[in-house]
């Protein structure tokens, strides 16, 4: 049985199954990237709810795993060479899990890098822009009288949706017929933008054709449906 006692995070979130990959997360757009990936690959794991509303990601135990204080993070007892591996940053975790399982990342080098460029596109552009729309449209930013920040992030988010609309014009998934970590990285963010952030009308989502169809296909996947609810909030 693997010994995870060297990792302080296990004192606050004890592993009932230390032989399984440990997931520390919450069902946010970044958090569900990893839970969906784990459900898609079938890799055994144990989820732990990290309540960011209670600042649990800023506790010493969590910071010992991710000094940036953000979910998700994982602890894999069976890391490279059989040595436990702690990892944070959702897209880095997606890449790690894809390479660990040999799933959801093309093996052809050219297609692999093409997939990674879209993964990085989501990380660098979609996530930050959509998140700012959420802040300025739904949360505390709504109280700011100057609406130029909201307009800036709205316009950029709408433009980014247009980029994906064009990409999906002649293909089912971001990489064509092959569903990959690029799709997984984006599904939760697009869903959140028009759902939880209540920005569907703001970004003219219904003027699009291919992105809504792609989102519907993605959300219909059983693994996605399960992953969106993990870790359970109850």
* pLDDT tens digit sequence for 96-132: 999 999 999 999 999 999 999 999 999 999 999 999 9
Cβ-based neighbour number of residue 18 at 10 Å: 17
In whole angstroms, what is the distance from residue 171 CA to residue 148 CA?
35
Q: What are phi and psi of 171, to 5 degrees?
A: -150, 155
Confidence grade of residue 3 (pLDDT, cut at 50, 70, 90): confident
Partner residues linked to 88 by β-bridges: 73
Residues of the chain with CATH 1.20.1050.10: 109-221
Residue 61 reports pLDDT greater than 80: yes
HEC string for 100-153: HHCCCCCCCHHHHHHHHHHHHHHHHHHHHHHHHHHHHHCCHHHHCCCCHHHHHH
Residues of the chain with CATH 3.40.30.10: 9-103
Confidence grade of residue 184 (pLDDT, cut at 50, 70, 90): very high
Q: Region 11-22: what's the mean pLDDT?
A: 97
- Give me the helix-helix angle, 148-167 and 181-194, nearest 10°: 140
The pTM score is: 0.96
In whole angstroms, what is the distance from residue 25 CA to residue 222 CA?
20
CATH class entry, domain 109-221 = mainly alpha
Confidence grade of residue 191 (pLDDT, cut at 50, 70, 90): very high
**Which residues lie closer than 8 Å to 118 by C-beta, 6 or more apart?**
167, 174, 175, 182, 185, 186
Residue 1 reports pLDDT greater than 80: no
HEC string for 4-61: CCCCCHHHHCCCCCCCCEEEEECCCCCHHHHHHHHHHHCCCEEEEECCHHHCHHHCHH
- The answer to whether the CB of 65 falls within 8 A of the CB of 3 is no
* pLDDT tens digit sequence for 214-232: 999 999 999 999 999 999 9
CA distances from 171 to 124, 182, 189 (A): 23, 14, 20
Q: Region 44-63: what's the mean pLDDT?
A: 98
Which residue do the tokens 């997984």 mark?
A: 184
Confidence grade of residue 140 (pLDDT, cut at 50, 70, 90): confident
pLDDT at 56: 98
CATH for 9-103 is: 3.40.30.10
Residue 233 reports pLDDT greater than 90: no
Residue 2 reports pLDDT greater than 90: no
pLDDT at 155: 98
């Amino acid at each position: 049985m693997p010994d995870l006692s060297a990792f302080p995070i296990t004192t606050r979130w004890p592993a009932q199954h230390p032989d399984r990959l440990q997931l520390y997360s919450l069902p946010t757009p970044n958090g569900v990237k990893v839970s969906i990936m784990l459900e898609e690959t079938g890799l055994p794991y144990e989820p732990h709810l990290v309540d960011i509303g209670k600042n649990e990601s800023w506790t010493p135990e969590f910071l010992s795993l991710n000094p940036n204080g953000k979910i998700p993070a994982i602890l894999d007892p069976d890391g490279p060479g059989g040595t436990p591996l702690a990892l944070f940053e959702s897209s880095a975790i997606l890449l790690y899990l894809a390479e660990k399982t040999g799933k959801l990342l093309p093996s052809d080098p050219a297609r692999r890098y093409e997939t990674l460029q879209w993964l990085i596109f989501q990380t660098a552009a979609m996530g930050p822009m959509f998140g700012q729309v959420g802040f300025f449209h739904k949360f505390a930013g709504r109280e700011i009288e100057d609406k130029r920040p909201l307009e800036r992030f709205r316009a950029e988010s709408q433009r980014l949706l247009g980029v994906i609309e064009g990409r999906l014009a002649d293909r089912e998934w971001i990489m064509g017929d092959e569903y990959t970590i690029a799709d997984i990285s984006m599904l939760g963010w697009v869903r959140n933008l028009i759902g939880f952030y209540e920005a569907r009308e703001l970004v003219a989502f219904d003027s699009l054709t291919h992105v809504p169809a792609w989102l519907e296909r993605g959300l219909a996947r059983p693994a996605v449906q399960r992953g969106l609810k993990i870790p359970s909030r109850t």
